[in-house]
Chain A
């Protein structure tokens, strides 16, 4: 008898939906997943209503829980799902939207955008889904890497254990991209401390890595700091570490 297919769902709380598009943009490689797993929920391509007892083996969530309803939905989804996967930087660390924590701060930022109605708006600072629910896996990146999501699904369907190798962005940069090292050229590239798996697309495109996939478990921060000190003052380095909310993780590491 054929093995029962895994029930998979894709969900987004407040987001740009770029992670889902990174997956959909794979075209046929994405559509082929339908043979392997039961893709029951993905609102970009279907409009079924979720049954009260519907359950998922794997539920992917992109975005940040910035609405009360988002938090409620997340908790509901947690109950329905065997594995809850944080997909993308927003779900992982809070990502770009968590920038509202800095500079003006979240209240003044709200007052700037909504001068008349700001006091009535819900203004939550989400620094990762794990703030409100337990997460089983993280597929990081801004956006998440489409091929990594596919690999995750394939390995789960085969009953294998999924892991992201703890290798820096530099590893893939040197192996596949063979571009001149941006850090050596004097650009603040965070490749050495950042988790690879992205094929180093940023340095390959001339853009310094900003660690959207988060730091390596055993990142060598002192060495990175030394290299960056030669390039720019600490306050500028801090600003770069803010973009994808890596600064908060470095604080915890210290």
Chain B
């Protein structure tokens, strides 16, 4: 039985689903990406190191911050630049805002309508005015902070190698932090929406990867474990522009649920309490729980901002840029994007020109895992009507929060 969903909506980037239920025990599932050849890794060759963060953030309009920061980290790694601790604080805050606004958008506007059975978000917003208001307020607050720190929401302007082109305005940040307690309360209410949903029972064992920092829930720092780089492979297939990544030839997952599974103990208290309220035993291999995991991270990130920003504001924000010289060599950067770990590899010549580049995005890493899940999940939909089956499949795909733009950079 063939199953096809053309142009899946409410997802970042374009893709279709093609599946086939062969018999009671076997099914095939494939995500067909529908983005053309942008060739970021090719067009960056020959360009200047400082252009990389400006150019790579154009990979994705929902997570530009992580692309810019990963590229900056890579260049700093190559030149041996150690940014001032205040710059690190501000970059971490940017990362947390990136999680909040990307997760909030996905949770409320892309995934929630699946659980409440809405095809059109505007209709859902009309039927749930209070919840929508909260979602917009929490997200709006995070976007305001990003505007103050990054200069703009989509495709930030300030962060650069060595620090910031312009350091944020102390007074504006203080004023926004005055609203923090109110927004935190609303964040908890926002997260409660996802507690009331019914998550399908579905498990398929897999491997999880993310940055692990012994001191904190890794987001800007930390390392990936288990010989990740030695054991992964980017797989090319003719006519396909996504290079799926396999670990020891097997699919794996990265993203919110991977992070909660691996870094659970380092979650902030309220985030931990929220996750615990689901009574999900860890490790869990039910990818529908990526939804509560993202909601947990929204709370975690809000708590983290409260830890990071007030001490910096107390010290006072000053220009702390570090000067540096370009050097030839290898450059490596990684950060936790909303959808999982993003890796940037470059080689530079002595003038800081890029001679080689490889970027491995989260969705390219977990796409094979999504397909493996869909193959098992398809079998469970055998008795449903065509429309119901399509809806179930869409719900699982969107719970993954794939970003096809990133995957086909």
**Chain A residues engaging chain B, CB cutoff 8 angstroms:** 12-22, 24-25, 27-28, 31, 34, 39, 43-48, 64-67, 69-70, 95-97, 99-100, 102-104, 106, 108-117, 120-124, 142-143, 201-202, 204-207, 210, 239, 243
Contact of B151 among A19, A99, A111, A207 (CB under 8 A): A207
Q: Report Cα–Cα, A69/B7, bound state, in Å.
A: 12
Which residues of B have CB within 8 Å of A31? Answer: 122, 125
Selected from A46, A106, A123, the residue in CB contact (under 8 A) with B9 is: A46
Task: Give Cα distance in the complex from A106 to B37, angstroms.
Answer: 10
**Pairwise interchain contact A117-B125, C-beta atoms closer than 8 A:** no
Chain A residues lying within 8 Å of B151, measured Cβ to Cβ, are 201-202, 204-207
Q: Contact at B10–A45, with CB atoms within 8 Å?
A: yes
B120→A46 contact, CB < 8 A: yes
- Chain A residue nearest to B51 in the complex (CB): A243
**Closest chain A residue, CB of each to CB of B240:** A117
Residue of A nearest to B125 (CB): A31
Instruction: Assess the B42–A113 pair: CB atoms within 8 A.
Output: yes
Instruction: List 22 contacting pairs A-B, 8 Å CB cutoff, sorted by A.
Output: A14-B35, A16-B58, A16-B59, A16-B60, A18-B154, A27-B136, A27-B139, A43-B7, A44-B109, A66-B35, A103-B46, A104-B46, A111-B42, A113-B37, A115-B236, A117-B239, A122-B37, A123-B39, A124-B37, A202-B151, A202-B157, A206-B151
Interface size on B, residues (CB 8 A): 62
B14 contacts A by Cβ under 8 Å: yes
Q: Which residues of B contact A243 (CB under 8 A)?
A: 51, 54-55
Question: Does B177 sit at the interface, judged by CB under 8 A?
Answer: no
Chain B min CB distance to A235 (Å)? 11
Q: B118 — nearest CB in chain A belongs to which residue?
A: A46
How close is B396's CB to chain A, nearest CB, in angstroms?
A: 15
Cα distance A115–B237 when bound, in Å? 11
A69 to chain B, nearest CB (A): 7
In angstroms, how far is the closest chain B Cβ from the Cβ of A185? 12
Task: Pick the 4 closest A-B CB pairs, nearest first.
Answer: A66-B36, A18-B61, A109-B42, A205-B151
Does B335 interact with chain A (Cβ within 8 Å)? no
B29 touches A (CB below 8 Å): no
Contact with A along B24-66 (1 / 0, CB 8 A): 0000000000111111111101111001001100111110100
What is the CA–CA distance of A66 and B60 in the complex, to the nearest angstrom? 16
- Docked complex Cα distance between A70 and B9 (Å): 16
A205 engages B45 (CB within 8 Å)? no
Would B10 and A206 count as touching, CB distance under 8 A?
no
Residues of the B chain whose Cβ atoms lie less than 8 Å from the Cβ of A108: 42
Query: Contacts of B238 on A, CB cut-off 8 Å?
Result: 117, 120
With A16-B60, A66-B38, A104-B43 as contacts: A47 and B10 at CB distance below 8 Å: yes
- Shortest C-beta distance, A89 to chain B (Å), equals 9
* Interchain CB contact under 8 A, B45 and A239: no
**Do residues B165 and A205 form an inter-chain contact, with CB atoms below 8 A?**
yes
For residue A21, which residue of chain B has the nearest CB?
B61
Residues of A within 8 A of B42 (CB): 100, 104, 108-113
CB-CB under 8 A from B165, the residues of chain A are 205-207
Q: B240 contacts which chain A residues (CB < 8 A)?
A: 117
Give Cα A12 to B109, complex, Å.
Answer: 18
Interface bits B211-232 vs A (CB < 8 Å: 1, else 0): 0000000000000000000000
Contact A97 B140 (CB under 8 A): no
Contacts A69-B34, A110-B37, A113-B42 given; indicate if A47 touches B157 (C-beta within 8 A). Answer: no
Which residues of B, 145-159, contact A by the 8 Å Cβ criterion? 150-155, 157-158
Residue contact B37 to A25, C-beta cutoff 8 Å: no
Contacts of A113 in B (CB 8 A): 37, 39-42
- Tell me how far the C-beta of B144 lies from the nearest C-beta in chain A, rounded to whole angstroms: 10
Q: Could you tell me the distance between the alpha carbons of A102 and B354 in the complex, rounded to whole angstroms?
A: 14
Instruction: Considering the complex, give the chain B residue whose CB is closest to the CB of A69.
Output: B34
Instruction: Tell me, in angstroms, the Cα distance from A116 to B20 when the chains sit together.
Output: 28
Q: Per a CB cutoff under 8 Å, which of A16, A28, A99, A111 touches B61?
A: A16
- Other-chain residue from B41, B105, B237, B405 in contact with A16 (beta carbon distance below 8 A): B405
B203 within 8 A of A: no
Interface status of B174 (Cβ within 8 A of chain A): no
In the bound complex, residues from chain A placing their C-beta under 8 Å from that of B236 are: 114-117
Give the distance in Å from the alpha carbon of A15 to the alpha carbon of B409 in the complex.
10
* Chain B positions 232 through 257: 1 when the CB is less than 8 Å from some CB of chain A, otherwise 0: 00001111110100000000000000
- Docked Cα-Cα span, A21 to B161, in Å, equals 26
> Smallest CB-CB separation from B235: which chain A residue?
A116
**Would A18 and B35 count as touching, CB distance under 8 A?**
no
- The smallest beta-carbon distance between A99 and chain B, in angstroms, is 4
Q: In the complex, A28 Cα to B133 Cα: how many Å? A: 9
| B195 lies within 8 A of chain A by Cβ | no
Query: Which residues of chain B are near A13, meaning CB under 8 Å?
Result: 36
Interface centre among A31, A95, A115, A124 (most CB of B within 10 A): A31
Asked if B78 is at the interface of the complex by the 8 Å CB criterion, the answer is no
B192 at interface by CB-CB < 8 Å: no
Q: Which of A20, A110, A123, A201 contacts B157 (CB 8 A)?
A: A201
Nearest A residue to B110 via CB reads A44
B12 at the interface (CB under 8 A from A): yes
Q: Closest chain B residue to A182 by CB distance?
A: B165
Considering only CB atoms, which chain A residue lies closest to B122 in the complex?
Answer: A34
Q: Does B340 belong to the interface (CB within 8 Å)?
A: no
Whole-angstrom distance between the Cβ of B326 and the nearest chain A Cβ: 14
Task: Considering the complex, give the chain A residue whose CB is closest to the CB of B54.
Answer: A243
Q: Which of B47, B58, B237 has the most CB of A within 10 A?
A: B58
Taken together as a complex, chains A and B put the C-alpha atoms of A95 and B55 apart, in Å, by 10
Does B258 sit within 8 A of A, measured CB to CB? no
B381 to chain A, nearest CB (A): 18
Q: Once the chains bind, are A206 and B157 in contact (CB under 8 Å)? A: yes
CA distance A228 to B34 in the complex (A): 41
